[in-house]
Chain A
């Protein structure tokens, strides 16, 4: 069945408006789109790590979720949902439940790349039939823009401030998507929202409806941490794709598939210059930083093309 944006957006929302996320934030777009990929007849239990998403979408006594939802703590969304999924299998086995349920966890990059990584790795290795979605905004935004292992090199954060001696984060971004591929799970994909949302929607559907564990890494920009005007959100995700900073690919049963190849790969400064967190890189004398980032992006892109056999 071919993808139609019109048909997709008339499906009932499972993530209600009225939540408290910022205007111009990528996270609620990611969440709404992933949940919309559920078939209407299927129930879901949604789990969120402690995060901007959790404190903004489930402040007692209000919830934004149409489906059952559980928040437990910062570092254990995967373990928590693995318990829920196990309960479902037991109840099915014992004939206590007929309805069909899907299990979807959300965590930010802090809750996924860092403090929740052990819990995620364990749940994926155990093979629970669930999807873990990282909404990657490349820093601890909920506590006020501290660096994470997902923060890109040179980014200005409150724990890697651009100082006289150290120009932002010294380390490169951790490649979590590849680490999840190394778990040997049936489906891993990297995506973001742009254009008609075909890529993120189809990947969400595959992730949810592939039996066994699946992992989605979704770039979800943060207007406060990345310092861009709210209305530029979709421009930034598009530039991340066109510069190959955030390539779109999926790994199905270990086989890499490239989903998008820019006709003309844009230079990284096109992506960097629209974000305040990188503004120091454009000061005279700091050209080397942009060159270094370009080299890293080129290297990763080349490696990815090789993995995808193109």
Chain B
């Protein structure tokens, strides 16, 4: 049996870190993820973990130090948000290219400017092509559970992994949570045994070469393969996790999709709001449903296409705008997934919502469904690029 507790999302992630007892943490404070290194520093200073905390002078150095530590043969972790993640961006690409399974906790927050400390997904979406695996959580429980699975996934395919939750909405809100016993966590996560590492006196290695056109593209192809391989790994690790805890995870989660005629695709905490909106609409006889994306990298192409193929209309909800003049990033990937799977029947629209912490209410989601019903009835999607709950 798990341990029943009440924790904020940041606390839950910090507690998962403590249970795992990684080797090194390099981190720099930024709202709303600051509490994670704060809680963790207390574990370090009280001798509750063996981890060395590297109190770096920037996020760029945080990821640089993590790359050094992980390449040296250790488990390295960090936590950040918003501008901190962007400041790391250069090093995120290197971490992935060096095939170092670093684990990064992200409490998602809007990017400047204007400066804003509240939640949206513009930070993670800005680094979506850095080569990291990316899992999003709806609740504190999911943030904790995803973190416990992260190292198993990243280390299996030698890729770094981001565990994302919504800043303040889950990072600071206290929820009931069921924790796994520490012995079980350690058994589940296991020891880190890299094949090659800097601090192996029997086999000195060199990491981070200058790579000419003769070799660069093969490096990238191998990264692409690792990302493809991660699909099965994420599912397998989730199965083992379910055997331990009873809690089920996949690349996506569907809600009321079996007979849905209108659906939304969404990421993060707003899925909870959407679930309530759907419950109410279902009581009134509306056939509406939801796809929640847990794994954004790798992108669940087949799963999303299969879930959407029979709907009449769908909206993809983006807490970020690509500023490409037509849709958010999740819409672009969803539409591409459908097209690649040969599905062109459902009418799809892109909604940009919740930027910079703009509140997302049950009525907001219900408004989206009422628009989708109009589209389903008329077959005319109208404007496919829309902003939700905004003063125009």
Which residues, 78 to 115 on A, are CB-close (under 8 Å) to B?
79-91, 93-94, 96-97, 99, 101
- Please tell me if the beta carbons of B72 and A87 are within 8 angstroms of each other in the complex: yes
**Which A residues are CB-close (under 8 A) to B57?**
118-119, 121-122, 125
Partner of A60, one of B68, B74, B209: B209
* Minimum CB distance partner of A60 in chain B: B209
B93 CB → nearest A CB, Å: 9
> For the complex, is A69 an interface residue (Cβ under 8 Å from B)?
yes
**Residue numbers in B under 8 Å from A22 (CB-CB):** none
Q: Decide if A68 is an interface residue (CB 8 Å cutoff).
A: yes
Q: Which of A51-59, A154-162, A174-182, A209-217 is the contact stretch? A: A51-59
Report the Cα distance A45→B74, complex, angstroms. Answer: 15
Considering the complex, which residues of chain B in the window 211-254 have a beta carbon less than 8 Å from any beta carbon of chain A? 211-212, 215
Give B71-96 as 1s and 0s: 1 = Cβ < 8 Å from A's Cβ atoms.
11110100000000000001100100
Question: A59-B209, A87-B72 given as contacts; is B199 within 8 A of A45 (CB)?
Answer: yes
Residue of A nearest to B216 (CB): A60
Q: Is A232 an interface residue (CB 8 A)?
A: no
List, sorted by A's number, 6 A–B pairs whose CB atoms are closer than 8 Å.
A47-B68, A76-B64, A80-B64, A82-B56, A83-B66, A86-B65
Smallest CB separation, B40 vs chain A (Å) = 15
A79, B208: Cβ atoms closer than 8 Å? no
What are the 4 tightest A-B residue pairs by CB atom distance, in nearest-first order? Answer: A83-B68, A122-B57, A87-B72, A83-B65
The interface centre, meaning the residue of B56, B60, B207 with most chain A CB atoms within 10 A of its CB, is B207
Given contacts A54-B210, A70-B208, A82 and B215 within 8 Å (CB-CB): no
Asked if A126 is at the interface of the complex by the 8 Å CB criterion, the answer is yes
- Find out whether the CB atom of A58 lies under 8 angstroms from the CB atom of B209: yes
Q: Does B284 contact A (CB under 8 A)?
A: no
Say how far A80's CB is from chain B's closest CB, in angstroms.
Answer: 4
B87 → chain A closest CB, angstroms? 11
- In the complex, which residues of chain A have a beta carbon less than 8 angstroms from the beta carbon of B58? 118-119, 122
Asked if A87 meets B23 with Cβ closer than 8 Å, knowing A76-B91, A80-B65, A126-B55, the reply is yes
B366 within 8 A of A: no
Q: A88 touching B72 by the CB < 8 A rule?
A: yes
Contact of B65 among A73, A82, A89 (CB under 8 A): A82
**Contact indicator A73/B56 (Cβ below 8 Å):** no
Q: Identify the interface centre among A75, A82, A83, A97: most chain B CB within 10 Å of its CB.
A: A83
Given A69-B206, A72-B208: A83 and B60 interface contact (C-beta under 8 Å): no
B residues in contact with A85, CB < 8 Å: 68
Asked whether any CB of chain B lies closer than 8 Å to the CB of A61, the reply is: yes
Q: Contact at A83–B206, with CB atoms within 8 Å?
A: no
Q: Are B210 and A59 in contact (CB under 8 A)?
A: yes
Given contacts A60-B215, A70-B207, A122-B56, contact A83 B50 (CB under 8 A): no
CB of A72 within 8 A of CB of B67, answer yes
Alpha-carbon distance A291/B208, docked complex (angstroms): 46
- Contact A70 B90, beta carbon cutoff 8 Å: no
Q: Which residue of B lies closest to A44 (CB)?
A: B204
Contact residues on A (Cβ < 8 Å of other chain), bracket: 35 or more
What's the nearest-Cβ distance from chain B to residue A117, in Å? 11
Say whether B52 faces chain A, with CB atoms less than 8 Å apart: yes
Known interface pairs A76-B61, A86-B52, A122-B57. Does A70 touch B206 (Cβ–Cβ under 8 Å)? yes
Total CB contacts across the A-B interface at under 8 A? 163
Q: Are B61 and A118 touching (Cβ within 8 A)?
A: yes
In the bound complex, residues from chain B placing their C-beta under 8 Å from that of A76 are 60-61, 64, 91
A60 touches B199 (CB 8 A): no
Residues in chain A near residue B205, CB distance under 8 A = 68-69
Pairwise interchain contact B50-A94, C-beta atoms closer than 8 A: yes
Q: Confirm or deny: B26 has a beta carbon within 8 angstroms of a beta carbon on chain A.
A: yes
Classify chain B's interface size: 35 or more
A68–B50 touching, CB < 8 Å = no
Q: Which residues of A contact B105 (CB under 8 A)?
A: none
Residues in A with CB closer than 8 Å to B72 are 45, 83-84, 87-88, 91
Closest residue of chain B to A63 (Cβ to Cβ) is B206
B45-61 residues at the A interface, CB under 8 angstroms: 50-52, 54-58, 60-61
Kindly list chain B residues whose C-beta atoms are within 8 Å of the C-beta of A132.
Answer: none
Is A66 in the interface zone, CB < 8 Å from B? Answer: yes
Most chain B CB inside 10 Å of its own CB: which residue of A60, A81, A99, A101? A60
Q: In the complex, A60 Cα to B208 Cα: how many Å? A: 9
Which residues B28-56 have CB closer than 8 A to chain A? 50-52, 54-56
The answer to whether the Cβ of A226 comes within 8 Å of any Cβ in the partner chain is no
What's the minimum C-beta distance from B272 to chain A, rounded to whole angstroms?
Answer: 37
From known contacts A87-B24, A87-B74, infer whether A126 and B54 are also in contact, taking CB-CB under 8 Å: yes
Bound complex: CA A41 to CA B23 (Å): 26
| Complex interface residues of chain A between 111 and 155 (CB less than 8 A to chain B) | 118-119, 121-123, 125-126
Give Cα distance in the complex from A63 to B94, angstroms. Answer: 19
> Do B64 and A68 have beta carbons less than 8 Å apart?
no
Bound state CA distance, A86 and B72, in angstroms? 9
B198 interface residue (CB < 8 Å to A): yes
CA distance A147 to B200 in the complex (A): 40
Alpha-carbon distance A84/B204, docked complex (angstroms): 14
Q: Which B residues touch A71, using CB under 8 A?
A: 207-210
Task: Provide the residues of chain B in CB contact with A43, threshold 8 Å.
Answer: 201, 204
Known: A76-B91, A91-B199. A81 touches B68 (CB 8 A): yes
A65 to B208, CA, bound (A): 13
A126 to B52, CA, bound (A): 12
Interface contact B210-A86, CB-CB below 8 Å: no
Tell me whether A84 and B198 are in contact (CB under 8 A).
yes
Task: Given the known inter-chain contacts A60-B211, A84-B68, please indicate yes or no for A90 contacting B198, CB distance below 8 A.
Answer: no
B69 at the interface (CB under 8 A from A): yes
User: Complex formed: what's the CA distance from A71 to B205 in Å?
Assistant: 11
User: CA of A88 to CA of B74 in the docked complex: distance in angstroms?
Assistant: 9
